[in-house]
Structure 1
Amino acid sequence: NQDLCARLPVHIVTQGMGLSGDNALAFRNHLLKSTIMARTLPMEEVMESAAEVERMLREVISARRLAPADDVVSGLVQCVLDTGDGASRGLLDDEIFAYARLIILAGGGTTWRQLGITLYQLLSNPALWNACRDNRNLIEAAIEEGARWMPTDPTFPRLVKEDVELAGVKIPAGSRVDICLGAANRDPAVWENPDVFDIFRPRKSHLGFGMGPHRCLGMEVAKQEMIVAINGLMDRFPNIRLDPNAEEPELVGDLEQRGMSAIPVQLF
């Protein structure tokens, strides 16, 4: 889980933003300390990491303004924003920084966990692994089924903009509603045997990547990363299997950032 699932998306998203090598790993470490891990660390350490995140990313932004490269920050630096009435402007450093910081945080963690969930399910059922290995077109179906069966982020908050009544419950404007996409993905009125991980089920739209204006911005990148990772494993270790002598992995993360505690394997 750490050696493959976590490293691949972090490597891709940080390189895509113009960071690489040890700088990318250091950036990711400081980003986690200043966000997800902030509640468990001393405030001084959190603030130091936040300062490092800003310093490193603003250095990239400044460098790309002088010499654009083939990365997302360069594209943002060169972007022209239509402000209406025929006016336009470039993006400010603060806007580029906020966007890049968000994408690096979101693009690493979600793909990491979803890849681990999908891999574990395939390896837990060797017949499914063998089916995907022998027909690589099934890999995308397995990824879609993984996002339906166990999305890494099954619950999202939404702000109610006006008074509304839903299923007999009055919800006033300004309320926060937690939408459980994971439950919708197992609605028995929509899915046959919804609790079963089945890569052969008829393909339908699911909510593992959100929907409408909140649909995941990076879903196609994430799916391609997972497709490449699983193909790579099948090419190199076609008979890989879960390590029967290792401690049984667990699904951790509760209602957000779900993922496998580990995926111990034997390589063949």
Structure 2
Amino acid sequence: MNNPNVVLTDVVLRDGLQDEPVVVPVADRAAIAEALVAAGLRNLEAASFVNPDRVPQMAGAEDLLSRLPDRDTVRYSVLALNARGVARAAAAGADEITVVASASPGHSRANAGRDVDAALDDLAATIAANPHARFTAGISTAFVCPFDGDVPPSTLVAVAERFARMGIRRIGLADTLGTAEPDQVLRSLAAVREALPDVDLGLHLHNARGQALSTVDAAVSAGIARFDSATGGYGGCPFAPGAHGNIATEELVAHLHARGIPTGIDEHALAEAATLIKDTLARATVLT
């Protein structure tokens, strides 16, 4: 099962904080980024360029990007859901912009306010209008939707194919609820890989039943090398009822190290970063 090329992206600054009932100041978010970089992480999802009225935890994204450390050695990605978000992210100098669509219509309406086809049409036009930006894609509710139930692999493939036609060559598949079983994830992965053999696939795993590490094992054995996680296991989706926290980066790193898979991440320093995040959230301003 040894795979020396596993790449971890920590998403606590975006997916982790967006579901917390507090607002963390930009300076504190920058300090968290510094701690994660010091622990050896070289891929961070730093912010989401969304309407702060809907997700106040993500306010100040432009300011945060200007304060992030080690811009030459760390890849900072950001999330955008629409043309306005992409324009803001590009103007702020984001290294990489992740555009997101849902695989399921119920979640698409709740999260993006439109159906899947309309969301993808808008994203296609936005990507075409920003030829100098670097884009990746994420597919929410790739396996299970809180509104529509299990997502057929063919439905997931159709969304992934739309992204591929936009020129995107890296796609993350998200178990937004954290309830998908490893076998279900593998079946859907196999379907997407068969349809799009030249696309680099990764997994964004939440962890409702403690099965996420088993899913990682199965995916690594199947050749998947990219995984998202959040230090402290924070996170969720405000627009997906029942969504659980992300797989914790410290648990994932320890799990991979125990299996002889290097990550380049220092477990002790990562534990210190987790403590910093916990303390920061404890003193942050509570949303009213």
> TM-score with structure 2 length normalisation?
0.28
**Bigger share in strand:** 2
> TM-score with structure 1 length normalisation?
0.29
**Bigger share in helix:** 1
Query: Relative contact order (alpha carbons < 8 A, sep ≥ 6): 1 or 2 greater?
Result: 2
Rg comparison, structure with higher value: 1
